Structure formats: C-alpha cells, structure tokens
Structure 1
Amino acid sequence: MNITLCTLFEGNYHFGVAALSNSLIASGYVGDLWVGYRGPLPAWIVDAPGYEKATGEIQVAPTLRLRLLELDTPLHFTYYKPTFLREMLERHAPEATVVAYVDPDIVVKCDWPSFMGWFTEDGISLVEDVNACFPARHPKRLLWNRFFAPHGATPRRQLERYYNAGFIAVSRQHLDFLDLWRRLCDLVVSHNANARTLKAGGSATLFHSTDQDALNFALTVTEAPLNTAGPEAMDFANGGYYLSHAIGSVKPWHGGHVRQALGGRPPSLASKAYYRFANAPIKVYSDGALAKRRLALAVASLIGRVYRRT
C-alpha cells in the first residue's frame, strides 16, 4: 500500500505545518507531505538552504520532503479539501493507493507503524468529532435529506456518529466519493452564499460546519467501508494516542496562554502536544522565544488546576 499525505495552509498556519512535519518525522514516516498554500511562504521555508524555488520542494529531514503547491482558488480551503485530495491521486501522486489529508493544526502523536493500521485500500478513514453523537434520525439529518434529495443525493445507509474533517484518508478505489463530497460542498456554498467562511450562522443553521456537514451527509450516501476512531483519537477526550487537533479560532501558536487561563480556559491537550513538536527539527522560534512560550504554557497549566470556566 502506497500512502501519501497532504495539507493546506495560508497565513500564520505555517506554524502548524512546521509542527505537523516535525511530528511526522518523529513518528518515523518516510515520504512526502504535499502542502497546498495561498499567499507568501514563511521565512523558515524560503530562507532554508535546501529550498528549491523552481520545484517547490524542500527536504526538511532525511525522511521527509515537503512539496509545495501554490493554489489559486477563491474558496475557503475547508471547501477545497475534496478537490485537493482528488488532485493528489490523479496528478501529483499517481502512484499512491491511499491519500490522507491532515489539517495544519494537527500533530501525530503515535509511531507511524501504529498509525498505518488506520489505512486500507477499500475504505475511508475518519475520526469522530468533539460532539460525536449524531443519531440517524436527528432533526438536522432529516433536514439535510430534504435539502439534498432534489440534487440526486439520497442516503444509502444510516450513521449514528458525526466525523471531523480535519483528518480523512481515502483510497483510490473511492475517487467517486471525493466527487460526491465536492459536489455537496458546492451546494452548501450556494446555500450559504459565502465561499470564504468556515462556519455559518449558529449551531441550528442548516449547514453550520459547512464542509464538515457536507462530508457527514456524503458518508451516508456512499457505501464505502469506514475505518473510524472515537473523539479521543484527536484529543477531544482523554485517552487518545493517535492525533492531537487544536480546534477553534485561537491556535497554540497565537500564544496568550496565561491570559486565556486567567479567563478560565487553561491550555488544551492539543496546545501541549503542539509544543512537543513546535521547533525540532524544523525551527520556527528562537530558543529564547520558545523557552518563554513553554514557561507561559506551564504557568497557564498551573492556573488551570485551580480555576477554569464551567
């Protein structure tokens, strides 16, 4: 089985790409990480001695090569995921049998051989979201059925769980699923009349989590086997050991850990995991800056032991 990995970033999410890369190196992954981006590249890439501007490649470790692809799309990257995944299998990595997308605010915590158990050539690999319970006849699912029915998308199976779109692996056998997900994303964009936002309206909005809602409906339309893990697999609950996902608008690299802790929000498991991989072997902070950040994280964690918002 030939596996290739990809991610998407713009702006300060390059800090997350560095940590994700460092975590892959630590896990023992050997291969490429395809990085789609929009806007300027950070100094840790363009100023690196090994950066090849002509090819968009940089060997960040003996085992890991970043392959950079500048993208021109008006869509929020969250809607672009199914298109990017299909391009991986069709154009950029035609030798791959499985392609996995990983958000740049995720790090891999386990060793690569353990992680590889998740991938199969016949299925789709997923992690349950922070709010994973989503019954088959949930009111919103019934509304989705009515919305998508005129567009020829009808559920073929019932699912009881809701999955996060930050990590997904799709085998070449299910290219049609990527087409389905992309088509449903287009319908969601048309419904919300905004292709540049991640969230829409409040929680009761028909499509609040946009591409993720489209993904979860698409999973009921396809009959592909699903290789799934619970929310702990992204550190949404305790006991996980696969991935750590820093969800929300405030990311670990934004800092402000003490201020957030004083406001009742101590550092998350994902923030702590980020700093495990933030600066080696790819270095994005000076030693002094990283030491200050880790000290702030430790102080914030102590504050969180005695005070947190309920």
Structure 2
Amino acid sequence: MSSTSTTFPSRRAASSTSADAPLPQPSTSVSASASRATSAVFTLFEGNYHLGAAALFNSLYAAGFRGPCYAGVRGDAPQWTTRRADGSHGFETADGFSVHIIPLQSEHHLTNVKPLIFQRLWANECANIPALFYFDPDIVVKRSWTYFEAWVQHGVALVQDVNSTMPPDHPTRCAWADFAAGAGYQVRRPVAHYYNGGFVGARREHLPFFDAWADLLRHAESRGAAALGAFSQRNDAPPFIRFPDQDTLNMAVMCTDVPVSTVGNAEMDFTAGGTLMSHAMGRPKPWARSYLQRAASGIAPANADKLFWQAAGVGPIHAFAPSILRRQRRRLALASALGRLYRRT
C-alpha cells in the first residue's frame, strides 16, 4: 500500500483514533436516545447508498426499534439529515429514534472498518448499550425488533451467505487456518458454513470476537490481501481471500470460542421462506434499477425490490419525493406482471 493509505489502528488504540486511523474522534456527548437504549444499530455508506440507508432506518422504525442508529459516511451527509448546533448531522423523532452521522476518511473499502466501528461505539457512544447490530445499507428489516434483541442473547448473530456450504476441511478454510496462525490465532471449532458480512449482531460480552476480526483484517492488510479494497471473485493465491471483511469475519468464527447463533440464507431472502430481513443482491441496487428494462430481459423484481420501495415510503425519513415513490411503485407492479409472463431461464 502507498504511504498515503489509511492503516488500521492497533486493538489498544481502537477507541481513540490517531492521525492515520480511519475513524474520526468520537463524540463526547451521549444522545438522549442512547442514554436509555437497550440496543443500537450502525451502517456504512457513501454516494447514493444513503437512499438504501434511509429505507433500512425506516424498516427498523417500523419493526419497533427505538434508540440510536449510527451511520459511517464517506462524503457529504444525506439531505434527509439536519445540521445540529455542534456541527454534526443527524435525524431524530420525538419517540426516541435517532440517526447520527460519523464522517469517515478511510481509503479502505468501507466494509473493512466494521469491527473497528463495533469497538469504537462500545468504547464511546454506546458505552452503556448492551447490544449492537450492523446492517448493510441495502437491507430491509422484516421481523419485530424484539426478535433481534432476543437473538443476540445466544451469541454473535450471523446469517449464512448465498453460497453457504464450506466444510471444516475445505481447502480454502485450511488455507485460512494457516493465515490466522500467522496472526496468532488457532482454530477453536469446526465450522461448516460461510456467513454473510451484511449483518452482524452481538452483545458487549462478545467483544473478543470483534477484537479477533479486527486483528485478522490488520493481518490481511499487512499481507496485501486485495489492498483491503479491491474485491476479486477469483483469487488463486493462498490464503484465497476474495472479500477481506467477510472472509476474516468467517475466520473469527473459526478462531474464537465466542458463542455464535446462526440462521440459514433464507433469512436474507437469498432463498424463499425467510422472515428476518431482505438483502438486495447484485447491482444496480433497488433505488437505481430500471425495472421495466430488467423485466423485458426476463428479470422480474425480487422481494428485496418490493420491500425496499415499501420501506422507502413508510417511515419517518423521506428520501424520495412522493411522485418518485408513486412512479416506481407503478413500474414495479408492471414489471412484476411482465415477470409472470416472461422470465429468463
């Protein structure tokens, strides 16, 4: 990496940033919603992904979540936030729901600061909040929030990826074991599945899991693994790291004895039957898709598309004009009808 690249701070420095750290100085104030919350949520985004984050936050509100949401943002704060007296940006409702923008300057892909955000929030803004959840900004929550809070009582909450089968003796997993040993970690348990990094939930007592995850990401950086930014679907050199944040998340599952509680990939709507959340796969994302053009190519709208536009229009955050919501819903309905007649095989 070049001399201008941002590097990960050591575990000891995770709660207070240095000049080359990817996180800004933590806020010294605690919001009213954080002072009485039992859980908090964070996400990470840049560019037009703020539209996805708005739908995520609306879905959390509809699910009954009340408390602070934190958004690590590279670039300008979304227009649906307001500038506060202290110069920060955010959004709040009268009944205890709030969003707080954390500006990020990291040159890394934003997904690679997830474990650092867990560490930083529990050390600072969420010091008195027992449960913390990360969601990608292209996820919509479907289940009551009480379910999520109960889930993490049993361990770090994870969802299997779309391609989830990965037995303990898988050659990639064996290469990961060798890689982790170089960072001082040994395999602690056999793991048969691969988990998606788009959602992680935990309680404070699970913090050693995130320490390990951050250590393994730093080790990947020191090895030049995809420069922790450029994803490669095909990496034929050991340790076969294709997605640094997600692969090292899965290494942390292998190399810690922190309890985990996992569900199948239907719970992200990767297959039918899920009830927890819907994760929009691929690109473009729902807010940027041309549904009629896709339908003409035999690609019908997915459940994630329908749930996104539902959440975008119902909730406290209004990221779209009503006319756009009406137009997109009409196009979704027409594209769905076309999809019943013509579907790519």
TM-score (norm 2): 0.83
Alignment-mate amino acid for residue 336 of structure 2: S
2:227 aligned with 1:194, yes or no?
A: yes
2:309 corresponds, among 275, 281, 297, to: 275
Give the total of aligned pairs: 305
Aligned to 2:3: none
Q: 1:159-181 CA deviation, whole Å, 9 max, x = no partner?
A: 11111111101221122221211
**What does 1:173-192 correspond to in 2, within 5 Å?**
173-189=205-221, 190-192=223-225
- Aligned position for 1:72: 105
In structure 2, the partner of 1:81 is 114
Q: Report if aligned partners of 2:208, 2:258 keep a CA contact under 8 Å in 1.
A: no
Match of 1:242 among 268, 273, 276: 276
Matched, 1:229 2:263: yes
Taking the TM superposition and a 5 Å limit, the aligned residue runs for 1:59-208 are 59-60=92-93, 62-120=95-153, 123-189=155-221, 190-197=223-230, 199-202=231-234, 206-208=240-242
Do the aligned partners of 1:200 and 1:210 also contact (CA within 8 Å) in 2?
Answer: no
Cα distance in 2 between the residues matched to 1:304 and 1:134: 33
CA distance in 1 between counterparts of 2:321 and 2:286 reads 16
Alpha-carbon distance in 2 for matches of 1:60, 1:103: 22
Task: Name the counterpart of 1:10.
Answer: 46
Query: Residue 128 of structure 1 aligns to a residue in which SS?
Result: strand
Task: Give 3-state SS (helix, strand or coil) of 1:168's partner.
Answer: strand
Contact persistence 1:52–1:58 (CA under 8 A): no
The answer on whether the counterparts of 1:257 and 1:297 sit within 8 Å (CA) in structure 2 is: yes
- Aligned equivalents of 2:235 and 2:308: distance in 1? 28
| Conserved? CA contact 1:101–1:167, under 8 Å | yes
**Alignment CA distance shift 1:61-1:15 (3 Å):** farther
Task: State the distance in 1 between where 2:236 and 2:326 align.
Answer: 42
Matched, 1:38 2:70: no
**Aligned-residue CA RMSD (Å):** 1.9
* Residue deviations 1:114-143 (CA, integer Å, cap 9, x gap): 3322121x6211111111111111121112
Is the contact between residue 110 and residue 241 of structure 1 (CA under 8 Å) also seen in structure 2? Answer: yes
Alpha-carbon spacing, 1:54–1:163, altered in 2? closer, same or farther (3 Å) = same
Does 2:290 correspond to 1:256? yes
- C-alpha distance in 1 between matches for 2:202 and 2:265: 19
Deviation at 1:155, TM superposition (A): 0.7
1:229-272 deviation line (CA, Å, top 9, x unaligned): 11111111111111111122321001211112222322121111
Structure 1 residue 294, shift from structure 2 partner: 1.0
Aligned amino acid, residue 296 of structure 2: L
Compare 76-85 and 166-175 and name the one that shifted more: 166-175
- CA change 1:277–1:139 in 2 (3 A) is same
| Aligned residue in 2 for 1:21 | 57
The answer on whether the counterparts of 1:255 and 1:293 sit within 8 Å (CA) in structure 2 is no
Counterpart secondary structure, 1:152: coil
Tell me whether 1:265 sits opposite 2:302 in the alignment. Answer: no
Structure 2 unaligned regions, length at least 5: 1-36
Distance 2:224 2:344 in 1: 35
**Greater relative contact order (Cα 8 A, min sep 6): structure 1 or 2?**
1
Distance 1:193 1:308 in 2: 36
C-alpha spacing 1:280/1:61, structure 2 compared with 1 (3 Å):
farther
Q: Which moved more, 1:171-180 or 1:57-66?
A: 57-66
